[in-house]
Amino acid sequence: MAIRPELLARGPWDPEELEVDWRRDAFELAAHQVAEADILLERLRERGSPSHDGLAARLARFEVAGSVLRLELQPTRWALRLLSDAGSSISALCVVRSADGDWLAGRRAGWVASWAGRWTLGAGGSVEVDENPAHTLGRELLEEWAVTPERLQLEALVRLDNGMVLLIGQAWLAPGADVQPDAEHDDFAWWPAETARWPAEADEPLRTMATMLGHA
């Protein structure tokens, strides 16, 4: 899945400027969506990926009010993100920069549920029920790279071609910070601050995202 986002809202915002309201009613999938999700989950199990058959979040609505980004989120089945129409299922993507401006890139292991075998920037994952997505950014960074940021800001809310929504944040690490990849990555590298010097494995969607963030 290529990251060619439709820009819904553009920051930057401080984490404290994100307000979240959780609905109590869960979003219900139609019967044919449930059946399709079950098939896709079984395929994940067959290649050794966790089934993730629990609840996550979808974006019900959003608004920008002055310096505040407000999100209304709703519990939904995690497997919604596997469908051809992800139904506004929301994830958080934390793009990571070194103190010198280099970009942390990791190659996703072949068994993971999303973007298997592809290079991505930073850390990302689904928003858990009752979680503030700003917290998701820091949590995923700690879980995937065993590091906490010196500074974090929220950059944009975007929608992908399949209907999935991403809250994109950008984190800067302290000088000398040592990242330790988790099992979801089988390789990683620090790509130069200048995207023109990136290696061939850096595909166009990643370069486009970095250009957008570099102009923040």
Q: Is the residue at 69 inside a domain?
A: yes
Total count of domains within the chain: 1
Q: Is the residue at 146 inside a domain?
A: yes
Q: Is the residue at 77 inside a domain?
A: yes
Mapping DSSP onto H, E and C, the string for the chain reads CCCCCEEEEEEEECHHHEEEEECCCCCCCCHHHHHHHHHHHHHHHHCCCCCCCCEEEEEEEEEEECCEEEEEEEEEEHHHHHCCCCCCEEEEEEEEECCCCCEEEEEECCCCCCCCCCEEECEEEECCCCCCHHHHHHHHHHHHHCCCCCEEEEEEEEECCCCCEEEEEEEECCCCCCCCCCCCEEEEEEECCCHHHCCCCCCHHHHHHHHHHHCC
pLDDT (tens, 9 = 90+) of the chain, 216 residues, equals 444 578 999 999 999 999 999 999 999 989 999 999 889 888 888 877 765 678 999 999 999 999 999 999 999 999 888 888 989 999 999 999 999 999 999 999 888 877 788 999 999 999 999 999 999 999 999 999 999 999 999 999 999 988 999 999 999 999 999 999 999 999 999 999 999 999 999 998 889 889 888 765
Residues 91, 78: Cα–Cα separation, whole Å: 10
Q: Is the residue at 1 inside a domain?
A: no
Q: Is the residue at 40 inside a domain?
A: yes
**pLDDT at residue 212, rounded to an integer:** 83
Residues 99, 172: Cα–Cα separation, whole Å: 6
Q: Is the residue at 38 inside a domain?
A: yes
Query: Looking up tokens 């975007």, which residue turns up?
Result: 158
Q: Is the residue at 113 inside a domain?
A: yes
pLDDT digits (tens, 9 = 90+) for 170-211: 999 999 999 999 999 999 999 999 999 999 999 988 898 898
**Domain of residue 109, residue span:** 6-214
Residue 16 belongs to domain with CATH number? 3.90.79.10
Query: Looking up tokens 């979003």, which residue turns up?
Result: 27
Q: Is the residue at 128 inside a domain?
A: yes
Residues 169, 167: Cα–Cα separation, whole Å: 7
pTM of the model: 0.90
Strand bridging mode 185-191 / 103-108: antiparallel
